[in-house]
Amino acid sequence: MTLLSKFLSFFPILTLGLAALAMAHGIWEHSLGSLILGLFFLYGLPVLSYRLHSQIYPLNSGVSYLQGSNYSPWWGSHQFQLIYIAFPALETCLRLVPGLFSVWLRLWGAQVGKQVYWTPALEIADRGLLTIGDGVVFGHQVGLYSHVIKPRRHNLMLYLKPITIGEGSFIGAGSYIGPGATVAAGSFLTAGSEIYPNEAIGAPQEVNQGEQPWGG
């Protein structure tokens, strides 16, 4: 792991610490400015850091390795998103306001269409690597994973590729969609569907319930 990788590993705890201090000060001193600063640390700083990091270290699709002397841009980008994975309630609140979560994902660089419905329980591993068409509906506990990690030759192999879901598609509850997967417009995925890396689903297509999702 490179020095930069180690440094960015502290980003999640640093962000939470700054947010907690700012909000505690705001409550104690009745300071609206401190409360707003706390919200910035929770929602603004990670996005800005991610976008800046992406300009310097762009995420490239394909195979790379996490261990070794070369810095992994994905590792850094993952640290900026880690607090939302560890504490999903931070994003669940955004889904309660119609349209707000789509705006949130666009800030990360995702392409999200209009009138997309996101259920409160949803897991996204890579927020900037999504293309979602208009009118897509996501069921309960859907997982979108634009990366997968596997042990390979005494190393950890990372495969990274954006996910594309066409307009008007329905993603059933408990479905898992892997890196590079393409779901055609108007597709219907039944509950528990498992779409593997680079798998293309054409409409109208029903995918039967699969097994537990692959690791990643």
Query: Which residues in 2-117 belong to E strands, given as ranges?
Result: 62-65, 111-112
Distance CA 191, CA 174 (A): 6
Per-residue tens of pLDDT for the chain, all 216 residues: 789 999 999 999 999 999 999 999 999 999 999 999 999 999 999 999 999 999 999 999 999 999 888 999 999 999 999 999 999 999 999 999 999 999 999 999 999 999 999 998 999 999 999 999 999 999 999 999 999 999 987 899 999 999 999 999 999 999 999 999 999 999 999 999 999 999 999 865 444 444 444 444
Any idea of the CA torsion for 187, 189, 195, 198, to the nearest 10 degrees?
Answer: 0
pLDDT of residue 123: 95
Q: What is the pTM of this model?
A: 0.89
- Tell me the C-alpha distance between 3 and 35, whole Å: 33
Q: Are 147 and 65 in contact (CB under 8 A)?
A: no
**Structure tokens given for 98:** 């119609």
The predicted pLDDT at position 209 comes to 46
Say whether the peptide bond before residue 213 is cis (omega within 30 degrees of 0).
Answer: no
Q: Which domains occur in the chain, in start order? A: 88-216 (2.160.10.10)
